[in-house]
Amino acid sequence: MILAVSVFLVLVLLAGGFLLYLPRHFYRTLIKRTSPPAGAEALGQPAAGENWLDTQNHEDVFICSHDGLRLHACYAASGTSRDTAILAHGYGGEGKQLAGFARMFHDRFGMNVLLPDARGYGLSEGDYTGFGWHERLDILRWADWVKGRAKAGEGAAPEAAVRIVLFGLSMGGATVLAASGEDLGGEIKAIVEDCGYASLMEEMVWQQRLRYGYGGAFILKALSRLTKKRAGYSFQEVSPLEQVKKSKTPTLFIHGEADDFVPFEMVLRLYDACAAEKELYAVPGAAHAGAYDSDPAEYERRIEIFFDKYMRH
């Protein structure tokens, strides 16, 4: 009897220790940034744009975030254009990995392009991933930089003439959707998001089910509490779905119908919830972050139609 009780207590202690260990383990591997996460897929480099940025006259620029981090971006101008696309990259990547999309905005639409490194990535400071929540405010800081750059330019037009497009892929898509619920000002004319998630907690539950066959939220809630303590946000806070309900900015939603990483049904809910003018481009057969590669010509045509309708007037 004493032996059985002792074994039971040992098992309880081991189980308790394991449950305490798991949130810390996942924080180190999923949230904390000291180097690129092992096995992380850096999304967003269509083959057509490979090495394009290296051929451009681009520059490194830096700003300070609302909470004191030094953030980095690459900037490539397009002649004397007053239109600028700010591109938000996905999890495990950095700004320059959206060079293929930057080429599209620059060459086809004649825009300046700004490719920020999210906090904790590339040359930007920070030791955690915000999954689009803190990054939404960083995007607004970058928009302020773009407006200041235009005003300071030789023969600068009035600030009202500056037009900005926000583009995001995967986590970057969630970032620009999260930003859409903030006061964006009149210069941000349009948002294009590709395969962003509706809710971080839902996405984490989905990934847990895919990887481990377990869909419960017990460990994730513990991880969320730890993230709130260490990084200043909880998973429940990161809800692009709630943010788009407040949006006033025309938004083009793009999502592959075969996306099993961020489920296609998420974009349907995002689209339905969005309070702004909106369009949906569902791409048959496209996997996660694969809509552009699936049909580049149609992808660019849909964006051009969207710009003609909501931006260029």
DSSP 90: -
Report the share of the chain in percent with pLDDT over 90: 71
Per-chain mean pLDDT for the chain: 87
288 found inside a domain: yes
pLDDT the model gives residue 84? 97
Average pLDDT of the residues in 107-127 = 96
21 found inside a domain: no
pLDDT of residue 192 exceeding 50: yes
pLDDT the model gives residue 161? 78
| Higher pLDDT pick, 246 / 155 | 246
Supply 248's token pair.
């006033």
Total number of domains in the chain = 1
Average pLDDT of the residues in 9-36 = 62
- Provide the residue type at 81 as one letter: S
pLDDT the model gives residue 267? 98
pLDDT of residue 109 exceeding 90: yes
Residue ranges of alpha helices (H) inside 181-260 are: 200-212, 218-231, 240-244
267 found inside a domain: yes
pLDDT the model gives residue 18? 39
48 found inside a domain: no
Distances (CA, A) of 8 to 2, 4, 12, 17: 10, 6, 6, 14
Domain that holds residue 288: 53-199+238-310
pLDDT the model gives residue 51? 79
Query: 278-281: long-range contacts at Cβ-Cβ below 8 A with a sequence spacing of 24 or more?
Result: 278/250, 278/251, 278/252, 278/253, 279/250, 279/251, 279/252, 279/253, 279/306, 279/309, 280/252, 280/253, 280/255, 281/252, 281/253, 281/254, 281/255
- d(CA 151, CA 273) in angstroms, rounded, equals 35
102 found inside a domain: yes
Q: Read off the pLDDT of residues 29-47 as tens digits, 9 standing for 90 and up.
A: 889 986 544 444 445 445 4
C-alpha dihedral over 131, 134, 138, 141, to 10 degrees? 150
Rounded to two decimals, what is the model's pTM? 0.89
pLDDT the model gives residue 301? 98
pLDDT the model gives residue 153? 66
What CATH number should be reported for the domain holding residue 92?
3.40.50.1820
Strand partners for 256: 283
Q: Read off the pLDDT of residues 144-190 as tens digits, 9 standing for 90 and up.
A: 999 998 877 644 445 447 999 999 999 999 999 999 999 998 999 99
pLDDT of residue 11 exceeding 60: no
Q: Are 189 and 228 in contact (CB under 8 A)?
A: no
35 found inside a domain: no
pLDDT of residue 271 exceeding 60: yes
| Greatest Cα-to-Cα distance within the chain, rounded to the nearest angstrom | 88
145 found inside a domain: yes
124 found inside a domain: yes
